[in-house]
C-alpha cells in the first residue's frame, strides 16, 4: 500500500475505473479502498492533511464503471462507496460515468457513447489541472 498511499497523496486528480462484481468494485479495488481508512484517520482523527503540498488544492475524483446487467440500481451501492472513498482521500467526487450491458471482452468499444464520453471527461480533467 505504501506506493498507493504516496500516489493518492500527491495526485492532482484520482480516477477509479472498475467493473461491477456483486454490486460493488472487485475485491482488489475494495481492498485498496479499505486501506484508505488510514487516510480517513489522518484527516478526521488527527486532523492532518491527506494530500502533499505539491498536489492541487481542489483535486477531483471520478468513477468509471461497467456491469453486465441493466438494472436501474446497478451502480447505486458503488457510487455510495465512491463518495466515502473520495472523501477519505480528500478528493472532491465530481463525476461518474457508468455503463450497463457491458460484458464481453472489448464490448465497451462497441458502446455508442462510452469511449467518447470517457475521452471527453479525460480532456476536462487535464484541462482543469
Closest CB 76 distance from ligand FMN, rounded Å: 12
61 binds ligand FMN, rule: CB under 6 A: no
By CB under 6 A, the residues from 88 to 127 that bind ligand FMN are: 102-103
The binder of ligand FMN chosen from 12, 15, 23, 117 (CB under 6 A): 23
How far is it, in rounded angstroms, from Cα 13 to Cα 36?
16
Q: Which ranges of 11-128 would DSSP assign to H, the alpha helix?
A: 27-35, 37-44, 76-88, 107-110, 114-127
Phi–psi pair at 118, nearest 5 degrees:
-70, -40
Q: Which residues bind ligand FMN (CB under 6 A)?
A: 19-23, 66-69, 74, 102-103
Amino acid at each position: 500500500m505504501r506506493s498507493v498511499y504516496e500516489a493518492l497523496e500527491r495526485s492532482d486528480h484520482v480516477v477509479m475505473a472498475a467493473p461491477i462484481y456483486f454490486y460493488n468494485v472487485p475485491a482488489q479495488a475494495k481492498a485498496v479502498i479499505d486501506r484508505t481508512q488510514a487516510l480517513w484517520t489522518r484527516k478526521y482523527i488527527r486532523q492532518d492533511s491527506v494530500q502533499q503540498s505539491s498536489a492541487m488544492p481542489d483535486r477531483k475524483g471520478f468513477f468509471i464503471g461497467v456491469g453486465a446487467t441493466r438494472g436501474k440500481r446497478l451502480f447505486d451501492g458503488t457510487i455510495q462507496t465512491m463518495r466515502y472513498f473520495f472523501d477519505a482521500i480528500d478528493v472532491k467526487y465530481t463525476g461518474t460515468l457508468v455503463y450497463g450491458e457491458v460484458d464481453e471482452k472489448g464490448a465497451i468499444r462497441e458502446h455508442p457513447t462510452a469511449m467518447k464520453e470517457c475521452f471527453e471527461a479525460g480532456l476536462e480533467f487535464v484541462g482543469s489541472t
